[in-house]
Amino acid sequence: MANLSFGFPKNGRFNETEMDKIAITKELFLLIVQDSAVQKLMDELDLPPDRANLFEIIDADGSGTLQITELLHGLLKIRGDLSKSDAVASLLATRAVQNMLSDFIAARMGAGFT
């Protein structure tokens, strides 16, 4: 049988520079969180049971992908009791700021600023 590494380091560990190059899409995230072993780990970490919406909550920059460090920091921050309204409020506030920033950049570019 061929030795398939799929780009993983031989020692099984990534350094920080390598981890920041890995991007997890929403589709991959949703596939991974369906795994029973992952579900068990998430239960042990006391993560909220509504895991299908975790991607949007953790995707802090709104890029549509999660870097490994972004995922780890996000999961650590939402451990424990989390009300749905807190998560939704934070998501809406973040999106509002992103929209304001996009509008600001567009206005600056339209006014000839670079």
Q: Would 76 be classed as within a structural domain?
A: yes
Instruction: Output the pTM of the full model.
Output: 0.56
Q: How many CA atoms lie within 13 A of 68 on its CB side?
A: 10
Predicted pLDDT of residue 82: 59
Q: Would 39 be classed as within a structural domain?
A: yes
> What digits encode the pLDDT tens for the residues 8-59?
455 556 566 666 677 889 999 999 999 999 999 889 888 888 888 889 888 8
| Residue of 60, 2, 64, 57 lying closest to 28 (CA atoms) | 64
User: How far is residue 46's CA from residue 107's CA, in Å, rounded to a whole number?
Assistant: 44
Q: Would 100 be classed as within a structural domain?
A: yes
Which structural domain range is residue 70 located in? 18-110
| Residue with the two structure tokens 């949703």 | 30
Q: Would 79 be classed as within a structural domain?
A: yes
Predicted pLDDT of residue 70: 83
> What digits encode the pLDDT tens for the residues 84-112?
777 777 778 788 878 888 888 888 887 76
Q: Would 5 be classed as within a structural domain?
A: no
Written as six digits, the tokens of 45 are 């970490």
Q: Please classify residue 90 by burial: count the beta carbons closer than 10 Å to its beta carbon, then call 0-12 exposed, 13-18 middle and 19+ buried.
A: middle
Q: Would 44 be classed as within a structural domain?
A: yes
Q: What number is the average pLDDT over the span 59-70?
A: 84
Predicted pLDDT of residue 98: 85
Predicted pLDDT of residue 6: 43
**How many structural domains is the chain composed of?**
1
Predicted pLDDT of residue 3: 43
Q: Would 3 be classed as within a structural domain?
A: no
